[in-house]
Amino acid sequence: MKIYTRKGDNGRTSLLDGKSVLKTDDRIELLGTIDELNSHLGMAKVLAGDDLRREITHIQRLLMGIMSGIADPMKREYRFDEKETEKLEDWIDRIEDSFPRIKDFVLYGGCEESARLDVARAVARRAERRFRTVAQKYVADKKAMQYLNRLADYLYICARYEDYKAENIRKDGIRQEVIRDVMKHAGERNT
């Protein structure tokens, strides 16, 4: 089977239930935004440590399920499980409790990993806004919308934790450099 179907050339595409819609339909915009979010999560996953990589992979799979529910909201098997939102909240609490988070405004880009997570977070917020638009016009899974809201919070706290770790690595590197300089100069004085 070829990757192209030649069916979308006229500006239409099909939802999972077979319904043909314009590619500018709000549901298609939402699906595209979640796909973009999933791609940015993949970029963040490349640099992530083992725990974060596992969590992101889990989230990516859930996003695929959410997309199925948007493309066919009447199928019960695509309904989102609210326990996943609770799990995400537990992850947020665990991370937030693991470091002294600065509660001021944040200038993004403290390190590459946090920058990638912040881009994913911004796209998650856009997906959440698009989901609200879809919910006003069509059937929408409110539990999936809630998950996207929490997902943005999760990505924010992960990014801040990555900034915190990167700052400590920089400080440790500077400390080691200072120690080396002191030891070098102490050795010069003793000769």
The pLDDT assigned to 17 comes to 75
pLDDT at residue 183 above 60? no
Region of 49 please: left (phi>0), alpha (psi -120 to 50) or beta: beta
Across the range 32-36, mean pLDDT stands at 97
The pLDDT assigned to 22 comes to 83
pLDDT band at 85 (very low <50, low <70, confident <90, very high): very high
pLDDT at residue 92 above 80? yes
Domains assigned to the chain: 12-162 (1.20.1200.10)
Which of 1-15, 68-82, 106-120 is modeled with the greatest confidence?
Answer: 106-120
- pLDDT tens string 152-180: 999 999 999 999 999 876 665 555 555 55
Percent of the chain's residues with pLDDT above 90 = 62
The pLDDT assigned to 148 comes to 96
Tell me the C-alpha distance between 61 and 163, whole Å.
26
Tell me the C-alpha distance between 173 and 72, whole Å.
52
Rounded to two decimals, what is the model's pTM? 0.83
The pLDDT assigned to 177 comes to 54
The pLDDT assigned to 186 comes to 62
* Residue in this structure with the two tokens 């992979």, named with its chain if needed: 57
